[in-house]
Amino acid sequence: MGKIILTGDRPTGRLHLGHYVGSLRRRVELQNSGEYDKIFIMIADGQALTDNADNPEKIRQNIIEVALDYLSAGLDPEKSTIFIQSQIPELCELTFYYMNLVTVARLQRNPTVKSEIQMRGFSEAGEDENSNKKGMPAGFFTYPISQASDITAFRATTVPAGEDQQPMVEQTREIVHKFNAIYGETLVTPEILLPENSVCGRLPGTDGKAKMSKSLGNCIYLSDTPKEVKKKVNSMFTDPGHLQIEDPGKVEGNVVFTYLEAFSKPEHFGLFLPEYKNLDEMKAHYRRGGLGDGTCKKFLYNVLEATLQPIRERRHEYEQRIPEVYEILKKGSEAARLVAAQTLHDVKEAMKINYFDDPELIAEHTKKFMNR
């Protein structure tokens, strides 16, 4: 059996540098490595709706944004199947059956769901009329099961994703083991493929907060203009104790250096900051004192632009061909659906709920009732 990738994103906004270093860049590398037989990239609109029921328009507007970000970052529809989750009804049917293999208590223990309940301010007790907390939608609570359907429908061996998705993949593995134990070997057990290092796994926001996040307003988007990038880099959090250029500076917790860690390549020094051979030399000088934040930020801007400029150019090209982008998504969804339908067929066969395709069942019952 070959190796198959499935991964995706919720279309709740444009993709930012955190998405890029955390997963998108890796996906493009995996795609171009030729090591995988199939790559499925899913725009998880159904999952996005589990806590956006009151705002489907947000999701509707952002599907194309995410698709444009994918294509401009280098995902190639000839090599990767890009599709929209809601267009694959088989995923719901799988979820319907997997629901019976997962307890409510197990869902309550899912660490990602737990922290999202906190973040969203959902009342854990469900409908809670005495507090101003919103009740938690059942669809939100059970989305890990739906995510297990996403992963297993495509027989994914590999799910490239961030640390926060580990509990989802773990929950999927449990469902697979339970299903296979009860109904016979049918589903493939997936493995998560985590980002190369901790910097890439969780890129901090430009303000130094732990995570780049739309709601915190500390993101650099793949589609930002050079002007926006420059402004955001110039306002970045550095070392508050580094007041004079001559003062020794800290690189730990200094966002400029964290970003350089994630984005700079040795060749960038030759191109933009030939005083140093590599990041280690630059860091040493900053620590010693004598290297100003302005110089570091200017270098970071150039480094980021080396990545962002080609992405921005490709995005601009695709933006002039929107009907074609929708056609890519439609074709991708059709191809994805065929694969999911085959898995659903196998699942129903394993569960023996394919009654009309089961001549043995009909023969058995013919016999059973014959001489009554």
Q: Which is nearer to ligand TRP, 7 or 254 (CB)?
A: 7
- Smallest distance from ligand TRP to CB 44, Å: 4
CA distance 289 to 187: 58
CB of 45 to ligand TRP, least distance (A): 10
Given the complex with ligand TRP, which of 10 and 232 has the nearer CB atom?
10
> Phi/psi at 128 (nearest 5 deg)?
-135, 95
| Residue, CB closest to ligand TRP | 44
For residues 118 and 235, which CB has a smaller minimum distance to ligand TRP in the complex?
A: 118
The residue (of 8 and 249) whose beta carbon lies closer to ligand TRP is: 8
Residue ranges binding ligand TRP (CB under 6 A): 6-10, 44, 47, 147, 150-151, 159, 161, 165
Shortest reach from residue 9's CB to ligand TRP, in Å: 5
- Per-residue tokens: 1: 């059996």
Q: Minimum distance between the CB of residue 172 and ligand TRP, rounded to whole angstroms?
A: 8
Least distance (Å) from ligand TRP to the CB of residue 190?
A: 8
Residue 113 or 347: which CB sits closer to ligand TRP?
113
Minimum CB separation of residue 371 from ligand TRP in Å reads 53
**53: CB partners within 8 A, 6+ apart:** 137, 139
